[in-house]
Chains A and B, each alone.
Chain A
């Protein structure tokens, strides 16, 4: 799970970006700030893996914030500016990457994954950047979620669609109730949840299944 922080003084955009990133199974927005100072304050109590920063913000601007971040290479600048002078300033500040606000969610999420994994996108040419992003299009799921068996995914899919009693699950899958219980215990362990409802919610969030 990649923890993301967002700093942008345009509330509508910040909200949209937050919702979009939260829809990614492997990302969670943990910090939302409307200016540089409050971003730094919030980060001191809630660490994030990747920080998305706007350049023009009241108080501290994006470049100033970057210089105060412990790991500026784990930050992506997301800006409306397109001029080469701005790009140069961002490059000097040591940011991990520079994206237009018009970048699609898919590319932005790929960029976040790349930077979270230690890649530096700043000095790449357009072609190299496209190639680097292509490698990170797929969500990186937690080990637990990735290790779910086909049968376990089947059970999660049923749970997500309202089949929740042990008896019904056993009937649908033609297995014993005891086996269902064993599978459920394994699923709970892998997804780190406590009950069937939480398991269903987590499965939907991770994109493992969708309610019909």
Chain B
């Protein structure tokens, strides 16, 4: 809006349109006036020369003036004309030349009237509304003055003079429309550039993802790539065995292995890094003598593809993980917002119906069963919701290790349970809490030399025990210093785990089971 107002007020320049867009469109309009000039000139020259049945001196001089104007317009390059003072001078000169031609040839009836309309138009195009009006005003005034000097009718001359101003006003509107068009074009171009850039980056992402997916499915699995690299590395002199280790989110995984690294005389670790991220390592089992710096450098180069493969795999896993967790929250939300409450409402309706049909035992019993089923269904929905909202966390062993912390005794800790699948995520925090507490209790109070965690876990079923060989205690009696037991019991009941405690003269076993009854 401000731009538009500034232009209409006519401050002598054309600031409305951003310069980059202004130049091409206005320049094109200006070039068009040059063509129009030629046409108007020819339409003026022919009758001017042929007037009064033969060429008159006035007609010839007028034609010459008009000719000078047209030739100068054609001769001055656009770049020069766009300069402020040149443009002002050009507009003034053009108006004077044209009006000279008009005045010499019958003023308002002159054949050069059409040509004389062009300088105000050009002034408007070059220098804006104010310059246009000045030039138009000058032309009009000269015309009226000439008409008065000739003693001709003033009214038609004034009418003609007004036309100059009207033409300038029309021109101003035209420039405004051109400005709007330019702005729209610029905006639309900017948008399309944005869309193209977005498209290009999406295409690039698609290409990379396809490539990654292809690598995952076409035999270039991580173990394959690991094996290949270990083969290359295996040719180095002094190398006995090697293994490639991936730092997966759930812990380190040995992806490929050649020989037994542990039995080698010395072990050297080569980190696998991409950028600043360490994604894994290659462990080299060496004979004591001879693994040169050159070998180390060569190995560094050879393992680089594997580092990239590891990084890609981890990246893909992160992407998949994000997608999965988004979907999990959506399902949990649906269960919470819709299915659960609807079932609950159904249950309450059954309760009401049950109350009013208590007199009919057969029907009441039937409805009671139905109600029990609905209740069970609701509890299932709640449990599923809780599972979905807990991140799939991975190995029980790793969580247990985190909870227990670095082991400093007293007693030796042995971890020997099998974990076919990690426990249900909803159970995991309580399970880990109870087992860690049991280990801490055994370590602090039993003077055991060996504490072991044993048993098995398979998602929704499992039995894990913490066994120590220390002095036992009477589990029924209230033991000072065994406050942890009360908390463990409460926690187990709340989580739906079964906790049993066996202790006698020697040793204590704390056993947690789930899904077995």
Contacts and interface: CB of A to CB of B under 8 A. Distances in A.
Q: Note whether A and B form a binding pair.
A: yes
Given A13-B344, A102-B379, A83 B351 contact: no
A105 B347 CA distance: 8
A105 B342 contact: no
B352 A19 contact: yes
Interface residues of A, number: 24
Interface string B142-167: 00000000000000000000000000
B341 A104 contact: no
B375 A102 contact: yes
Contact of B382 (A8, A20, A100): A100
Contact of B385 (A20, A80, A125): A80
Given A81-B385, A101-B340, A20 B352 contact: yes
A126 B341 CA distance: 23
Interface string B473-514: 000000000000000001001110000000000000000000
Contact of A126 (B342, B344, B374, B493): B493
A83 B391 CA distance: 13
A13 B381 CA distance: 15
Contacts of B386: 81-83
B100 to A, nearest CB: 81
B371 interface: yes
A17 B385 contact: no
Nearest to A19: B352
Specify which of A19, A81, A104 lies most central, judged by the most chain B CB atoms within 10 Å of its CB: A104
A46 interface: no
A102 B343 contact: yes
B324 interface: no
A193 B386 CA distance: 50
A13 B344 CA distance: 7
A82 B385 contact: yes
Say what secondary structure dominates the interface of chain B. helix
Contact of A105 (B343, B348, B429): B348
A112 to B, nearest CB: 13
Contacts of A56: 336-337
B351 A105 contact: yes
B375 A8 contact: no
Interface in A58-109: 80-84, 100-102, 104-106
A209 to B, nearest CB: 13
Most buried by A among B345, B389, B490: B345
B378 A104 contact: no
B193 to A, nearest CB: 41
B383 A80 contact: no
B351 A20 contact: yes
B348 A20 contact: yes
27 contacts: A10-B341, A10-B342, A12-B342, A13-B342, A13-B344, A13-B345, A15-B345, A16-B345, A19-B352, A23-B355, A56-B337, A80-B336, A81-B382, A82-B382, A83-B386, A83-B390, A84-B429, A84-B494, A100-B378, A100-B379, A102-B374, A102-B375, A102-B378, A102-B379, A104-B351, A104-B375, A125-B493
Given A13-B344, A20-B351, 17 more contacts: A12-B341, A13-B341, A16-B346, A17-B345, A20-B348, A80-B341, A80-B381, A80-B385, A82-B382, A82-B386, A100-B378, A101-B340, A101-B341, A102-B343, A102-B347, A102-B374, A102-B379
Interface of A: 8, 10, 12-13, 15-17, 19-20, 23, 56, 80-84, 100-102, 104-106, 125-126
